[in-house]
Amino acid sequence: MTVNELTLKIENLSYFYENGDGINGFNFELNKGDFLAVIGISGSGKTTLINTILGILKKKTGNISIGDHIDISKISFSPQNQAIDWYLNVFDNIYMGALFSNVSNPKEITNNVIELVGLKGKEASDPTDLSGGQLQRVQLARQLVSESDILFLDEPTNGLDVIISEQLLTHLKSLATKGVTCIVSSHDLDVLEKFCNKVLLIEEGKQVFYGSLDDFIASYNEENEFIIEIYNPIEEKVKSLLQNKYNILEWFPLVVSIENEKQISEILKVLIDHDIPIQSLRKDKKTLKEIILDDHRRKENNV
Ligand SMILES: Nc1ncnc2c1ncn2[C@@H]1O[C@H](COP(=O)(O)OP(=O)(O)OP(=O)(O)O)[C@@H](O)[C@H]1O
Ligand SMILES: [Mg+2]
């Protein structure tokens, strides 16, 4: 595999629904073997972006190019809403996926993927007799049998239990290490963080971050941010005292961005002087999930 071989290039991509919602001005590039996490709160535009890239929605502006080595028939998509052939049993639903994509050993691949997504024993079942999570797995399996170059999965872990979610993402990661480019939207941030190497954060239809997972985590983990865990929320009187002098980012737990080391001991002294017991003090090192939660909380509280 050639390192950094371009797979997908998105330039100034936009799509708008009639009511004006949509996505605006997306720019990013993916290479062979990239595992992209598309994240953002519900309604931010993840599905719209994926559907626009795939041409399900007709783009209003922009360019989409795929790498020269990509065979267009080797692009797979698992949509957020289930697409199942209701008249076929579980095995045949998945087997159809393998036949469509012309893989060399469709039966073997189908059986392997059935095992992978935990549907062993359900091969002869009708889709109508399955639970929501099992249906979701049938749909995913139809894509996983296809031996694609690019896989788009919109909320693949929805309705899956933690074990199957981890297995699925582990499998995707192993495909990525073999050169498959995976684009996965999900609210499952803890799980995604373990597997993706790139992050695309969407807010209100706009691309607010695109880059490596490491850069994303680093850019939101300021060196000078401290978390002071306290047992009870701080009363207003003490809050205004602190707020006037220090850059307080959050109140419970107390998160502060300091200008010098001295400030942290000053803040601790204020707390102690007001009989506020301190549980712990640590430098802030946030996970992907905490970054998104904090960001949202700060916007809500206007701090
Ligand atoms: N068919 C449609 N017509 C009009 N507006 C739509 C349509 N589909 C989605 N939208 C709007 O576009 C915005 C983005 O929706 P989208 O489905 O892309 O969000 P999402 O990030 O995938 O959300 P979720 O996490 O809930 O799946 C939302 O404001 C939504 O209400
Ligand atoms: Mg969606």
Q: Which residue's alpha carbon is at the smallest distance from atom 2 of ligand 1?
A: 17
What is the C-alpha separation between 188 and 176, in angstroms, rounded? 19
Res 38: pLDDT: 97
Indicate if the pLDDT at residue 119 is higher than 70. Answer: yes
Res 46: pLDDT: 96
Domain borders along the chain are 6-219, 222-284
Percent of the chain with pLDDT over 90: 63
Q: Which CATH architecture has domain 222-284?
A: 2-Layer Sandwich (3.30)
Stretch 61-83: mean pLDDT? 85
Indicate if the pLDDT at residue 80 is higher than 90. Answer: no
For the ranges 118-132, 147-161, 200-214, 283-297, which has the lowest average pLDDT? 283-297
Among 68-72, 146-150, 179-183, 188-192, top mean pLDDT goes to 179-183
Q: In 3D, which of 53, 5, 2 has the Cα closest to residue 26?
A: 53
* End-to-end CA gap in the chain: 47
Res 100: pLDDT: 85
Name the token pair of 160: 């899956």
Which class does domain 6-219 fall in? alpha beta
How many angstroms does the Cα of residue 41 sit away from the middle of ligand 2? 9
For the ranges 33-42, 66-75, 137-146, which has the lowest average pLDDT? 66-75
pLDDT tier at 3, thresholds 50, 70, 90: low
Indicate if the pLDDT at residue 2 is higher than 60. Answer: no
HSE of 3, CA atoms in CB hemisphere, 13 A: 0
- Best residue among 18, 41, 42, 48 to mutate for probing ligand 1's pocket (most ligand atoms within 8 Å of CB) is 48
What is the C-alpha separation between 297 and 184, in angstroms, rounded? 25
What is the full DSSP assignment across 25-79?
EEEEEEETT-EEEEE-STTSSHHHHHHHHTTSS--SEEEEEE-TT--GGGEEEE-
Q: Which atom of ligand 1 is nearest to the CA of 22?
A: 12
Indicate if the pLDDT at residue 1 is higher than 60. Answer: no
Name the token pair of 272: 């102690």
The answer to whether 114 and 108 have CB atoms below 8 angstroms apart is no
User: Ion ligand 2 — residues with CB under 5 Å?
Assistant: 46-47, 80
